[in-house]
Amino acid sequence: MRYCRVLFVHVCAAVLFACSGFSGGWMEPPVNKGRCDESEDCKERGACVHIVHLNECVVESDLDCQRSQICKREGKCFAIEGACREKTVDGGEGGDGQKNVEEKIPLRCADKQACAMDGLCEDMDGRCVANTTSCQVSRACKDKGQCHVDRGVCVALSENDCKQSLYCQQKGLCTFDKGQCVVTTEQSCSQSDVCRKYGQCVLQKGTCVAPSDAYCEGLALCKINGLCRAIGGKCVAKRDIDCEKSTGCRTSGRCTADKGECVILVDEDCQKSDACKTHGRCWAKEGACISIQEHNFNETNLPDAGEVTSYD
């Protein structure tokens, strides 16, 4: 019986020691954390840290807040007490030696990103609204034709607004419809920058697109620039072989597929090209073929003439 009592005491002591730090306090179990960057909570309100045992995404980082929509819309860009909030300023030590209470100073509407982007620059009853001037100088006016104020937001009011917008030229959004500019005709697509650059010349479900690989392969963009595959509704360079067959490879060394385009990555790209044979631009540097005069090579690093001309 005495042995059992002693054993019990030792077991209890071991348990207490394991559950206490050297200071005698309780040791909190480690919190297993992850990320939930693709969640709507992360994108909208900066809740990007995943607390595994709670299966919950929470706000912990200023950077997460600053990447979120609530920062862009409302200026709530700092992680404070578990939420993204507006910036604060600490009053410091008061004259009587007492710590002043932290005072929250909200960003003015004119200081928020939504002012420059959407014209929401005027403070009204705790929210940001647009006025005539702010709409006219906003990015929304230049890009989308939304140059007029209606119930506190910037909108397009006519076909002319749309046709003068940057998105009409770039994306074919040239038709006025319910306060915004949309694309409704294939002609708008065919006259747009996205048609010329990426083959997005066909109207599908209100968007200009390149509909298929076969469509891209039939365009000059494939032959000249190697943009022969339809991905995400546009023609892109997906395979090195498409780039190698393109005119751009032969003339200027753009022979390698990278991030949807044919680019110059290595000396060999340049040394196969007319740029090398005709102009002596045989070395790749920062996405271009350059001559030896432009290259900061030592003599020992240069290939001999036989190596350069062996690609004929």
Asked if residue 68 belongs to a domain, the reply is: yes
What total number of domains does the chain contain?
2
Whole-number pLDDT of residue 47: 92
Across the range 69-85, mean pLDDT stands at: 85
- Tokens found for residue 307: 């190596």
Whole-number pLDDT of residue 311: 40
User: Does the pTM of the predicted model rise above 0.85?
Assistant: no
**What's the length of the chain?**
312
Q: Are 141 and 115 in contact (CB under 8 A)?
A: no
Asked if residue 42 belongs to a domain, the reply is: yes
Asked if residue 273 belongs to a domain, the reply is: yes
Whole-number pLDDT of residue 296: 58
Q: How confident is the model at residue 61 (pLDDT cuts 50, 70, 90)?
A: confident
Tell me how many degrees the CA angle 204-205-206 measures, rounded to the nearest 5: 95
Across the range 205-225, mean pLDDT stands at: 96
> How many Å apart are CA 231 and CA 288, to the nearest integer?
26
Asked if residue 291 belongs to a domain, the reply is: yes
Asked if residue 136 belongs to a domain, the reply is: no
Last residue of a domain, one of 87, 113, 131: 87
Q: Are 71 and 47 in contact (CB under 8 A)?
A: no
Asked if residue 56 belongs to a domain, the reply is: yes
Q: What are the pLDDT digits (tens) for 223-274?
A: 999 999 999 999 999 999 999 999 999 999 999 999 999 999 999 999 989 9
To the nearest whole percent, how much of the chain has pLDDT over 70?
A: 78
Asked if residue 127 belongs to a domain, the reply is: no
Q: What are the pLDDT digits (tens) for 151-192?
A: 999 999 999 999 999 999 999 999 999 888 999 999 999 999
Asked if residue 286 belongs to a domain, the reply is: yes
For residue 61, the enclosing domain spans 30-87
